[in-house]
Structure 1
Amino acid sequence: MKKIPLKRIFAAAALVCCLTVTTAYADVTQEDIDNAKNQINNLKNQQKDAQDAVDDINGKKGQLESDLNNLNGQMTNIVSSMNALESQINDKKKELSDLEDEIDQTQDNLEAAKQQSASQYEDMKIRIRYMYENGNTPMLEMLLSASSFSDFLNRTEYISEINSYDRQKLEEFIQVQEQIAAEEASLEEQKKDLESEQQELLAMQDDMKVKQNSVNSLISSTQANISQTNSELSSAQGKVNDINSQIAQMEELEKQLEIQKAKEDAARMAEIKRQEAENNGEFSYVPSDSDLYLLGAIIQCEADGEPYEGKLAVGSVVMNRVRSSYFPNTVSGVIYQSGQFSPVASGRYALRLEQGVNNTCMQAAQEVLNGNITNSCLYFRTVIDGLEGTIIGHHIFY
């Protein structure tokens, strides 16, 4: 156990009274800084949750915009198909109109052929009736009045040709009637087919209109969802911005607390050194069995990522405090002193003790306990502007 001279005890009491009177109203403890850090960590957790919400909404918005693009593509295809159908329907209407004109013309031709055939037929009936009513005298007279046999044959052939002509014309008119009738039937069949095709096109057009209305409805719904998502995104982003602002404020507060504490620590350090300079007593400390492990653990918590020199410097600060009459007089007492080492307050130190200490930090702890004290400082912290001291790695020792 370390022996403390009475002179040092009185000096420590005087210093405590002095510091209490002059700085009690402004003292910043490590607990204050740790509280600020905890608030910053909590805010950063909230920030992560808020940013995750923003990312989720952005993902939702991206999917909705993709859906809207697909729907717009479908609408473009539908409009294109409807335009094509409209063009085909107009073509069918024109074909039907032309075909109806052709049917009307064919019917006119058929009617004219029927009238001509009827007229020819009436003429034939009149000649036949005349021949029957008057006998064959005109024909006979025409034959007997022939001037020669050759003339007789010619007249006979003429009479035969008249009869053949009448028969041929009658047959021709019958064929024309049949041909026109067949043509009319064919045109009517074409008209029927065209009307059927037109109805199919109109039905397809109706289907397209139904699809168009459906897609229009989906587009409107998707646009409304995008608008709602934009509103949600704006709100979520606003929350992120608010948290970022709070983090910035808390980080500034932490920085100011760190600066204030560093100044207060430096003032204490100067007074402690002044007081201890008056003490010429010898100091000796015999480490306990647990000191090596405890010291190695705090070195790893505070300086695991620092150079070996930085690890020795942290261990030296602990031992300098043990040597000082203004701090506990054991390694465990210094490490567990309230409000001094943030890893202890946060629970990281207890976890490190449970998980074990690496060889490098144990080696540094052993060197320090063996007397390799590399500095005379009582404090260290991360580097900040305006604080004088020895910088090793990311720490400043003062």
Structure 2
Amino acid sequence: MSSGEAKRKKEEPLVVSNPREVLAMLDCIDSMVEVLAYMNDSRRKRRTYVRPEHVPFLETRFRDFDEYLSSQTPEAFLQYTRLSPEEFEELFDHLGGRLHHASTHAAPIGARQRMCVYLRFVGNGFNFTTLSEEFSCGKATVSAIVSEVIEAIIEGETHNAFPPITRSYLEEVAVKAQEKFDYPHAVGFLDGRHVAIKRPYGAIETFMNYKNFQSLVLIAVCDVDNRFLLFDVGQPGQLGDTSIFQSSSIKTFFDECDDVFPETRDLGDVGPVPYHILTDDGFGQGGARYIEPFPAQFADTGSKRRFNAKHGEARKVIDTTFDILQRRFAVLQKPMQLEPTRAGRLITSLLILHNIVAWREDVAAYVEKFPPITESLVPLQPISQSDGPEEARLTRERIVQHYDNLYGVVV
């Protein structure tokens, strides 16, 4: 190898994408530094692992967390971590092994404490500096812990949070939608939001949305019980109008797995009506499975406006689900101080946590326990309205006729 090649090789940066590898490497490097310091220091003074200003607080830095977890006041723990003690312990049972580190110094941060750091970050929206001060550790340590827990949640809990979508499950959703909203054959509710992020280096225009802030696009489908069924996150904000749905993983899934929809059945005596997903304006261009309301210029009768009202009332469930997600995890209420790829992974971990809780209990029932939303997620920009594809128009007209048969024609 020539000297030039050796120099170039020496200058090449080491790239490690796995947060757990980063933490392990930092521990290893720190241990090596300690050994070298000991060997080279004539006075045999051992290098301290933590900053001197943090030393007085090592024994108490997680005191609030420990007291909340062991106390008989689950409400206080819920406010502190955004999970109940039972939810926290269940999550720890699943993730603890992925977050465990061998003790290499006198003040290690345990698996439960690592989960606490992550939950304080996402639940309260604190920045790394604030958490560094709260837990008496460096900002780099906080950042690495957050990344580690994100990946542990995604790797360990995705299959629990998002079980396979089946025809029988979608049939259950349709029955509940009929009972709750008086809307027939609805198996899901679709919409999208812009999630604000900090200004990315060198790609400002790419992530700038129609509201003039940088964002990632989140598109999701939920069920009647505020559980997310599918989601697509990570597209830059510049692409954030409803036409982005055409290239989303959600549309790809339903296009390739159309057989998960229940078999088309007659709706009363108006004829066959396929099972479908309710969408806002613009998403209906996805095809016959996506039913949007009548555009204003086509809602020219009382019966059509009644359909729009029924459709809108049912579709609100996706708005409510986004609100629950954002209210529990306040990190979504301000620009995320993360680069886009990492922000997308964080959002994914939040959707997983939301669903884990939603499979256990009614998440809408106690959302009022969390502080109100200070800044809502911004909807996607609607594209120019049309009346949708022919098959979707026929479905809509038959549901209008169904309501006319039940409740009478409205002129």
Please give the TM-score of this superposition, normalised by the length of structure 2.
0.21
Larger radius of gyration: 1
Which structure is higher in strand share? 2
Which structure is higher in helix share? 1
Please give the TM-score of this superposition, normalised by the length of structure 1.
0.21
